[in-house]
Amino acid sequence: MGARLVNTGERRSPLTPALSPEGRGSKAGGATLAQALAAAQRQGLPRLEAQMLLLHALGRATHERAWLIAHDGDALATDAAARFDALCARRLRGEPVAYLTGTKAFHGLTLQVDARVLDPRDDTETLVDWALELLPDDRPARVLDLGTGSGAIALALAAARPQAEVWAVDASADALAVAQANGQRLGLAVTWRHGDWLAPVAGQCFDLIVGNPPYIADGDPHLAALAHEPRQALASGPDGLRDLRAICAAAPAHLAPGGWLLLEHGHDQAGAVRALLQRAGLGPVQSRFDLAGIERCSGGQRAA
């Protein structure tokens, strides 16, 4: 995020001057929705983000962009303008849109998210799609999601494979509370466990273990731009591989014969993770690309 998006220290939000010259946002003569959106974009917000924040300020669902387009000549009421202004200012200071609106669409589900959990990324749908290729849809299978956060992966798998028995682990009790609430609200059954990677599932075996662990190196400058998200969800030792190493060492003992371990990792970690999976005795080790063409996850299978 460029310097012009960072808080300038001014008390007034950067959007305020552009929304309306006088009597800002009043029903009569205030900025229209289209003008408010244009002002937000001039300040550096991508159009889609500005639309989602405006819809949220208006008390509407963030996917109702067609409504916004149909009403772009409507005047923005003063209270909604103030809410939009405040949301835009927070976004310009780096808070994820998902935290500001409280929701995130993930693999067809609407999850509730806040600063206790990682904002689920679209890239992680690559891992879910791969897991679904491996999971039968006509008979039960046991699945474990390591580092579940908001519950995104576990709940997407539970929704798509109703016969699967899905377990999920996280070391953060706060994250588990968010995940559990999402499960209840969506009516999806997952067995939630608190603790360190495989420790809470001692003695259990699974047909599929998936995980999107922290994988950013402690000193990586990108962490600064992610300061609103839990550090425990992001940073993983000096080379970013501490948690991937721990999982690759411990997970194979929890795989049923023929079971798979699939892990998301950083854009430049595929080779290192494939080596860890091979060293753990798994094969045929392979990687999958995300929509941007980056090797985003790697996995291997226990011999049958």
Ligand X SMILES: C[S@@+](CC[C@H](N)C(=O)[O-])C[C@H]1O[C@@H](n2cnc3c(N)ncnc32)[C@H](O)[C@@H]1O
**What is the binding site for ligand X (CB under 6 A)?**
117-118, 120, 124, 147-150, 152-153, 169-172, 175, 196-197, 212-214, 232-233, 243
Cβ 116 to ligand X, closest distance in Å? 9
Query: CB of 212: closest distance to ligand X in angstroms?
Result: 4
Cα-to-chain-centroid distance, residue 78: 32
Q: What is the dihedral of CA 46, 43, 120, 116, to 10 degrees?
A: -160
Q: Which is nearer to ligand X, 14 or 211 (CB)?
A: 211
- Closest distance between ligand X and the C-beta of residue 122, in Å? 11
Distances (CA, A) of 57 to 140, 141, 154, 228: 43, 43, 30, 21
Tell me the closest approach of the beta carbon of residue 232 to ligand X, in angstroms.
5
Q: Which is nearer to ligand X, 192 or 260 (CB)?
A: 192
Nearer CB in complex with ligand X: 55/117: 117
In whole angstroms, give the CA distance from residue 99 to residue 148. Answer: 17
CB of 67 to ligand X, least distance (A): 28
Comparing CB distances to ligand X, the nearer of 25 and 149 is 149
Taking the CB of residue 166, how many other CB atoms lie within 10 A of it?
29
Question: What single-letter DSSP state applies at residue 169?
Answer: E
Q: 212 vs 287, which CB is nearer to ligand X?
A: 212
Q: Are strands 255-264 and 206-211 parallel, antiparallel or unpaired?
A: parallel
Distances (CA, A) of 294 to 138, 223, 245, 285: 32, 20, 21, 17
Token digits of residue 302: 């226990």
